Amino acid sequence: MNKVALTSLGAAGAAGTAVGGGMLAKSYHNANSFTRKKYKHAMLRLDSDAAIWDSKYAILKSSKDTPKNSTLSLALAKSKDGEESKAKELLRQGCEEVYNSHEEEKYFEDFKKFCAKTNKDVSSRTTWITGNDKSDSWNAPLGTLKDYSGDLEPYLLSVKNSLRKENNGYQDAEREWIKGWCEDTQQELFDGTMGSTKLSNQDTFCTSNQQQ
């Protein structure tokens, strides 16, 4: 739902919320929007979550795809022009419009890329492994997994059971198993369950503070 539509519903009020040096007009709160019905735990707070908003802005600024939401599209354009404060304000405004929309098919990708809290976002860890499947950086989590005695996600348990017992290094395919799981898990929308096995496994096997 774009800004014009919100205004036509009588949603914009005279009062506003200060964001990044600008103002976001108070808008219509659609309790039946697709985000609130299905992804409420992944929605960012418009007046806080500053660190996550900064990470979403970095994603927007580097995006090669134009958002479907017109306000987010304008935010992207402003970011390319070096108007950072305005772009950040428009990012939150555009996400607010997405939060109030019924059009999941049209705006889900915008929501997921620029407006949603992921499993990675809720972690306190910062040293994520980023190498490709040929990188030795994935050997450490494989070694940790091989000897791990705690709870495991079903996929990781199958990986553990598939690892060769002999200590003669790891193959690219084995590194790809753990790399793929980490990437997929980090990008998943947060479902509101802190302390889950999945989040614990993410912090254990996807960070670079392990011993080989």
pLDDT of residue 164: 82
CA-nearest of 87, 30, 25 to 53 is 87
Residue 72: pLDDT over 70: yes
Cα 25 from Cα 122, distance rounded (Å) = 28
Per mean pLDDT, which range of 15-29, 126-140, 168-182 is the poorest?
A: 15-29
CA-nearest of 199, 182, 194, 203 to 41 is 194
Query: Hey, CA dihedral for 5, 72, 99, 23, is it positive or negative?
Result: negative
Residue boundaries of the structural domains of the chain: 32-116, 134-204
**Number of alpha carbons in the 13 Å side-chain half-sphere of residue 90:** 20
pLDDT digits (tens, 9 = 90+) for 113-172: 999 999 999 999 999 998 887 788 999 999 999 999 999 999 999 999 999 876 678 999
SS3 percent helix, strand, coil of the chain, rounded to 5, is 50, 5, 40
Predicted TM-score (pTM) of the model is 0.80
pLDDT of residue 22: 39
CA–chain centroid gap for 90, Å, is 18
For 129, the 3-state DSSP assignment is: coil
CA-nearest of 133, 144, 210 to 177 is 133
Burial 145-177 (b: 16+ CB within 10 A, else e): beebeeebbebbeebbeebeeeeeebeeebbeb
